[in-house]
Amino acid sequence: MMIGFRVDANEVIATGHLMRCISIALECKKRGQQCIFFMAEDKETERLRKAGFQYYILNSDWKNLDNEISEFQKILENYKLNYLVVDSYQATAGYLAALEEIQPVCYIDDLKREVYDVSVVIHYISPFKNDSYEEMYRNTHTELLNNMKYAPLRPEFHYKKEKVIREKSILITTGGTDFYNVAGKVAALCQNSMQIKSYKIHLIIGSMNQHETELEQLAEKYTNIILHKNITNMSDYMRLCEVAVSAGGTTLLELCACKIPTVCFSFADNQVKFANDMGKIGAVKYVGDARKIEDIENKIVKQLLIFIKNEEERKKYADCMGKLIDGHGTERIADVLC
């Protein structure tokens, strides 16, 4: 019994894709399944080694998956997988259909661009019910998992009943990259506010952050800025800090599971709609797209001040977040795959 994962992570593709696949794989492993990862290039594979998963480097072009179909099909015939989970925006309908011929395919579909001829489709990145999306799959053989309850978070994000004691601190996280150095600009601007200056700032440096040297210089200058890299206990910081600043994407789901009031921004096309939708329902405070707002750090810090000054406002957002996510999505996905 084996589950395969076709996913990539690099300077362009956010590490969140790999991390959510690892989360699903860990739950499948608990249920006695072997798991193997297939990747175009040897990047971010240290995460797989640490998690104890084998991987196969295809030496293909992650930007054009159709070109790897023939060779990948031959490789897959040797593994006899129960399911192949595919997590890539570069996967075309033709690519997925070709892989479905070898074994059942489960596609994680964030974008809802078209109907895919696969066994299972997972879409959890939307707080709004979408009847038209379900209608697209109504007369197909595809099992559609279309709900935020399928968010594939790691076990550390499971709901905890005990009361969380938070310190006067701010969490800043942008995922694997931070092209616009929003984290650094926000941390620096916080030093100009007497109220925020008294807060610790826990700043998470992504594995491919282009501004690491600048952040280290900032932390040397200001003692309240604490840098963290290669952490394996993100939930601890999300439950420790009073408020958070985060880029859009799957990290927002982790923040929801930990019920930490969050100021959110986007810097990639695939982040905009989800971040905006989460803002509309009052789960996060979305301040806009860093690519279009030159001084977005000012808007972020302004909203941080509102959260810090108003406990009721923080509670309102935290309550909304807690109703969306319980952290058990990987178990529900594994119920289908295993």
Cβ atoms of residues 90 and 64 within 8 Å: yes
Among candidate residues 237, 257, 232, the one with its CA nearest the CA of residue 329: 257
Give the three-state DSSP class for 88: coil
Identify any residues that bridge with 54 across adjacent strands, giving them in sequence order.
36
The helix/strand/coil state of 214 is helix
Q: Are 169 and 201 spatial neighbours (Cβ–Cβ below 8 Å)? A: yes
The dihedral through the CA atoms of 13, 183, 21, 283 has a sign that is: negative
Please tell me whether residue 275 adopts helix, strand or coil conformation: helix
Burial class (CB within 10 angstroms; exposed 0-12, middle 13-18, buried 19+) of 58: middle
176 within 8 A of 206, measured Cβ to Cβ: yes
- Taking residue 294's Cβ as centre, other Cβ atoms within 10 Å add up to 9
254 annotated ligand-binding residue: yes
123 is catalytic: no
Selecting among 17, 123, 202, 328, the annotated active-site residue is 17
Count of residues in the chain: 338
Q: What is the DSSP string of 234-263?
A: HHHHHHH-SEEEEESSTHHHHHHHTT--EE
Q: Where are the alpha helices (DSSP H) in the chain?
A: 16-30, 45-51, 69-77, 93-100, 131-136, 182-190, 194-197, 212-221, 234-240, 251-257, 269-280, 296-309, 311-324, 329-337
Tally Cβ neighbours within 10 Å of residue 307: 19
Residues making up the annotated binding site are 154, 254
Q: Please list the active-site residues.
A: 17
Residues making up the annotated binding site for substrate are 154, 254
